Structure 1
């Protein structure tokens, strides 16, 4: 799949000149293979997330398997380009897709700053009123088995909260653990990642806890925004450390 620096590839460009294959429905694995020509970092979880956001709507077989058309692949490529090249939020990308569907010319945005790394990664940071998912809903949304969930719970990667159900982020965690498993990483390998995340959350909580207890309502309201900003910085720092370590090993 050729790279389009402008990010404004016309409809069908991502799957152009593929011949009869354009008309053959594709599995999510086949779509992943096509997209990775241009977007090496894309994952099955990312495609599922974009589908859950309504940016692509593959048809389903009677048994529930996704079947993507060439137009679906082109839409996914457009979304990924807009995120990579212009750092657009999904809401804006959805508006652009709607405009394209109406046959309108889509103007490319100007330069932008890199996005919040937590944007679209799962759900907002957990609060007392955050969404919960039940065990059945978690299994269905992440497409895992009871046995897999029980194993991951035994390693502390997932678990129900005190008030019942699982935090909304559990769906994305399950999908990521499943994807990492395809590379041979087992739940026991991921315990250190979970422990590191818990420590980061503890550091964030040390900073925002006094804000939550403040008498000023505006200060208390700002606590969650501060927590999100700190979490984003922690994610970026972790990613930078990993990239630096890989570079040192490679060199």
Structure 2
């Protein structure tokens, strides 16, 4: 579990609640029409922008920001170098005994054992990488869209509340509820966008990039193994994907 995501969201809402409680009653900030305008309007806009299945799937995509398995490029490089040593000593077919929890790496190994040439192997793996980036991009786009749309519907709710307030200025009792809708919709839209949607989109983008880097390492490593590149030279080449501070860890 990514504790940073959990801590960030909890801390964000805690600070907002603290500010509310210090300045008044929490009940003052609860308004059902305002919530319906922001949440309902945002969901409606997402249905217009994206396929319904993608919108419903965005909930599962968001969970990856909480439950994602961290990528470890150094571990992947270590696996590839071990395989390079095996292939150099016993031949490519010896990799048939190698098993990996990484489905992408295991698939690449299987292609090598089945006799795929380097050009075909690279083509297949890069297509897989492109499809992965495309799938991730859809999920990120939905949460980015939510981050853009929620404040917009907050503003729509504000305009509705202002119209209602101006239309009933002769009735003082109606000014308060109309003003609450006007202000709280903007508040809800801003909170939903800036505490949830936009941070989740950024976190999902970061995790997607990390996974793509690891897959790039796997592609370069497996092609090097197939071509018989010296394991030490291959290790130095693959370490280029690591930050400079981690390259000399060995």
Rg larger in structure = 2
Q: If the length of structure 2 is used for normalisation, what is the TM-score? A: 0.23
Q: Which has the higher helix share?
A: 2
Which structure has more relative contact order (CA 8 Å, sep 6+)? It is 2
